[in-house]
Chains A and B, each alone.
Chain A
Amino acid sequence: MNSKIRKATTHISQNEGLIFEKSSPGKKAYKLPPLDVPAVDAEEVLGKAARNDPGQLPEVSEVEIIRHFTRMSTWNYAVDHGMYPLGSCTMKYNARVNEYVARIPGLAEAHPYQPTRISQGALRIMKMLRDQLMEITGMDAITLQPAAGAHGELTGILLVRAYLESQGSPRKKILVPDSAHGTNPATAAMCGYAVENLKSNAAGMVDIASLEAQVNQDVAALMLTNPNTLGVFEQEIRKIADVLHARGALLYMDGANMNALVGKVRPGDFGADVMHLNLHKTFSTPHGGGGPGSGPVACKKILEPFLPTPVVITKPDGTLGFDYDRPQSIGRVRMFYGNFGMFVRALAYIMANGPDGLRQTTEDAVLNANYIRKHLQGLYDLPYNTPTMHEVVFSDKIQTRKGIKTGDIAKRLIDYGFHPYTVSFPLVVPGALMIEPTESESKEELDLFIDAMKQIAREAEESPEVIADAPYHTRLTRLDETAAARKPVLRWKPQAELVAK
């Protein structure tokens, strides 16, 4: 093992097959209580709807299940292991108290249709989160219903569409900067809009002249991430909003990077009309291997009548309830009220921080990104010299001279004990390395990361072949993704079935 690798070392790791390969008939991990009513014959009550073949679910014992999932868990890298600088994803610490309170039985076991008079605690949580998110964003109204960021985008653009329709015409196009997340154009298409690209200027920001030229009576809105995916704050944000508003278009803010702004500036103050928040990014609800998320959408007064039903209201007697009577609403975007379990966690996070903690959190996130930028600038190409907020984007331009690409550097970083940054995004930077440390990293962890990146830059110069074959210290070497896509194997099949084929 390379002595320059300070954070990681090799470690015994258990092998573990698929659960189906451990199964054998008669093993059990469950026990049901005795049935206290008469048994019924399924064939008799269900007729031809009765199931004959139960399907090949595994049969294993409880201890095997514990070991199976525990062993597999050790093959993952997670925030709990260390820095996870996946740009745009905001991999921050997930506080344990959030998990604890979300599991309190009166909250975890509440049925969405139980009468509101015995749901006041749940409603109070929704109202408090709503009020605090409105204060944090500087917006006038909010829905908590969307299940994730992209779902929030869908909701937000539907609000825009409904509002514009009420003004006479929904218009035809949504402008999306070339640096945007892929969800933005995909969302616009789902809402029946054509997508028009907006070029960035040399500073990585919206080009005001292009914007002026492109905004006309056909443009419904601009979807803008701020700070954008280069980690750059759109300094002309007020001007951008003014150009749009002057021509009857709206400003949608993708709030994926709101963690750079909380407590420092409010989108509602600088001209955004509607935005989504990712509770799983900015407000620390866990990413869980890909989800669940939660994507509340906050908006200005003009869009409030169109919010999804239901909305939480205070009734004349002071109790809380749901208002379903909203004739201008875009309708529902999800059954029930949204990912309530995430509301509990996000509110617990806000409460733990308070106003000073939230501000310090934002400051530390920005401080960390700038610290990394300062120490890696020069060794890695910095395509935009514009000030960095919560994330910094380098390119692999220097390393490609030796044939080393951003994806290779990422794989080598794994050997050094870090999760890679986001590879090859945003698309405006060829060979991008998008690094977002978040506030959760100590100076020591950042220094180790910087050291690792410096070491890899040196390796790229001196022995590029080392990087090209990385990682070396993982259970598996690089996986063949091309083969996986060419002939997809998307499920396990019993050996007998495979042989028969």
Chain B
Amino acid sequence: MRYLPKSQSDREAMLSDIGVQSIDALFAAIPEEYRLTGDLKIPRSYAESEIVEFFRDRAAENAQGYATFLGAGAYSHYRPVVIDALISRGEFFTAYTPYQPEIAQGTLQSIFEFQTMICELTGMDVANASMYDGSTGAAEGLMMAARVTGRHKSAIATSVHPEYREVIATYARYQGMPLATVAYGKDGRVDLEALDKAVDGETAGVLIQSPNFFGIIEDVAAIADVVHKRGALLVVSIAEAVSLGIVKPPTEADIVSLEAQSFGVPIGFGGPYCGVMATRDKFVRQMPGRLVGETTDRNGKRGFVLTLSTREQHIRREKATSNICTNQALVALMCNIFMTIYGKQGLKELAQQNLAKAHYAADEFRKNGAALVFEGAPFFNEFVIRTKTYPRAINDRLLEQKIIGGFPLKRFYPELENASVWCCTETTTKASIDAAAKEVAQ
């Protein structure tokens, strides 16, 4: 077995050192009746070349070389090759949680930089070292709001990603957290009147997403006014992190739950991604997840350590802020490198290209007879159109041209008949937009 560094004689020498006759003696604690006597029924051992061939074959059964207009919570952005070159260093990817700071400064300093950049982009004071993803992060955001306010109820805008809402429903069910929903208005934004009715003196947190599932940028300031008036906290989820290059950050929020997949993380059939939570200084002790802080060593040199761990499960057990332990550190490193590559100017330019492509596409689709479902509110790189025919029929025709069309909304929003949400990023070409525009007209 090529991953095992022992010869048979090594094993025999070690067994004899231990003072047992055979390896079976070391498994004697397992009741004999349960010990396996034969092989597991799984395929034989494969050579490396066979493994590569197997996965290439599986990849060939998936779409390859398609242009895509799918967004809806997972975004196709270009990934600079520097990212994989750096995260493939064994020092990063084969290390564990930096519990021993003297030999983990690489991981710790990079997380500290990550936390800083997330604060700069979201307008929050403090960010954690990552959460599993945007959906669980949003659930944790509402749970955190309940801890901060000492209240129980939550309200969620229906324009939040439907799968995020499903996850939150699962998390909330047994925590005594009733969930109210807040409808969207004609412009696709949170209906402020509905919000006003949904929030009361027992509401702990209100969750919105901006840009929302329809791609529309919410009026965060107006929403925050309504929420704060009742003493509740506003949790803003951001699923498309590149929007932060050009869209005003939700500075009126109390908690921001970001899904940073857009920052250089492979779309990879849905994961692993990178959730992050950011908040105000005053709430930091109620925030879940690992945090890195600056300190000094005995000689006064700057260094970094995991800190405020008294919030966490390994210390607090059932009284912890969350049961989260493992996070998404390596994925956060991808995001960190991505943010560093694009930097202050590049992220803006990148966002500008996304904005321009999506607006060009929306205009072309409209010229070709599709209707923009939500008029009057700003959008970033996604928009909802209504077509004369069923979106799946349009998408089927596009697939023949190796183009994956927009995401049909009816599955999650029965009221949005023949509507679909389309995404354009910097990777979307004018040629594929023009090709799609012809089909949506049919």
Interface string of A351-371 (1 = CB under 8 A from B): 111111111110110111011
Smallest Cβ-Cβ distance to B118: which chain A residue: A491
Q: How far is the CA of A382 from the CA of B407 in the complex (A)?
A: 60
- B399 CB to nearest A CB, Å: 7
Q: Which of A52-69 contact B (CB under 8 A)?
A: 52, 54-60, 62, 65-66, 68-69
Q: How far is the CA of A189 from the CA of B125 in the complex (A)?
A: 29
User: Is the pair B41, A235 in contact by a Cβ cutoff of 8 Å?
Assistant: no
- A305 CB to nearest B CB, Å: 15
A30-B346, A95-B3 as given contacts; A333 in contact with B170, CB under 8 Å: yes
User: Is the pair B86, A69 in contact by a Cβ cutoff of 8 Å?
Assistant: yes
Smallest Cβ-Cβ distance to A294: which chain B residue: B272
User: Is the pair B88, A30 in contact by a Cβ cutoff of 8 Å?
Assistant: no
The contact of B246 among A46, A60, A340, by CB within 8 Å, is A46
- A235 CB to nearest B CB, Å: 5
- Stretch in contact with the other chain, from A260-268, A394-402, A458-466: A260-268
Q: How far is the CA of A143 from the CA of B163 in the complex (A)?
A: 17
Interface string of B164-177 (1 = CB under 8 A from A): 10110111011110
Q: Does residue A153 face the partner (Cβ distance < 8 Å to B)?
A: yes
- Stretch in contact with the other chain, from A208-216, A243-251, A296-304, A469-477: A469-477
User: Is the pair B136, A334 in contact by a Cβ cutoff of 8 Å?
Assistant: yes
Residues of B close to A389: CB separation below 8 A: 26, 29
A288-B331, A352-B48 as given contacts; A188 in contact with B318, CB under 8 Å: yes
Q: How far is the CA of A267 from the CA of B289 in the complex (A)?
A: 31
Residues of A close to B127: CB separation below 8 A: 490-491
A190-B175, A479-B305 as given contacts; A30 in contact with B104, CB under 8 Å: no
Query: Shortest 3 CB-CB distances between A and B: which pairs?
Result: A288-B330, A106-B59, A336-B270
User: Is the pair A183, B313 in contact by a Cβ cutoff of 8 Å?
Assistant: yes
User: Is the pair B136, A439 in contact by a Cβ cutoff of 8 Å?
Assistant: no
Q: How far is the CA of A368 from the CA of B26 in the complex (A)?
A: 11
Q: Which of B296-327 contact A (CB under 8 A)?
A: 296-299, 301, 303-305, 307-310, 312-320, 322-327
- Stretch in contact with the other chain, from B146-154, B193-201, B226-234, B354-362: B354-362
Q: Does residue B190 face the partner (Cβ distance < 8 Å to A)?
A: no
A352-B3, A370-B26 as given contacts; A42 in contact with B246, CB under 8 Å: yes
Q: How far is the CA of A354 from the CA of B39 in the complex (A)?
A: 9
User: Is the pair A121, B62 in contact by a Cβ cutoff of 8 Å?
Assistant: yes
User: Is the pair B3, A106 in contact by a Cβ cutoff of 8 Å?
Assistant: no
User: Is the pair B60, A106 in contact by a Cβ cutoff of 8 Å?
Assistant: yes
Interface string of A26-69 (1 = CB under 8 A from B): 01111011011111101001111111101111111010011011
Residues of A close to B60: CB separation below 8 A: 106, 121
- B391 CB to nearest A CB, Å: 12
Residues of B close to A266: CB separation below 8 A: 34, 36
Q: How far is the CA of A135 from the CA of B59 in the complex (A)?
A: 25
- A192 CB to nearest B CB, Å: 3
A56-B120, A58-B343, A109-B266 as given contacts; A265 in contact with B103, CB under 8 Å: no
CB-defined A-B contacts under 8 Å, sample of 27: A32-B353, A40-B359, A46-B246, A46-B355, A55-B121, A65-B340, A73-B106, A77-B100, A86-B99, A111-B404, A113-B72, A115-B395, A158-B174, A189-B318, A189-B320, A289-B333, A292-B272, A292-B327, A331-B170, A338-B271, A352-B3, A357-B1, A357-B4, A358-B42, A479-B304, A481-B295, A490-B284
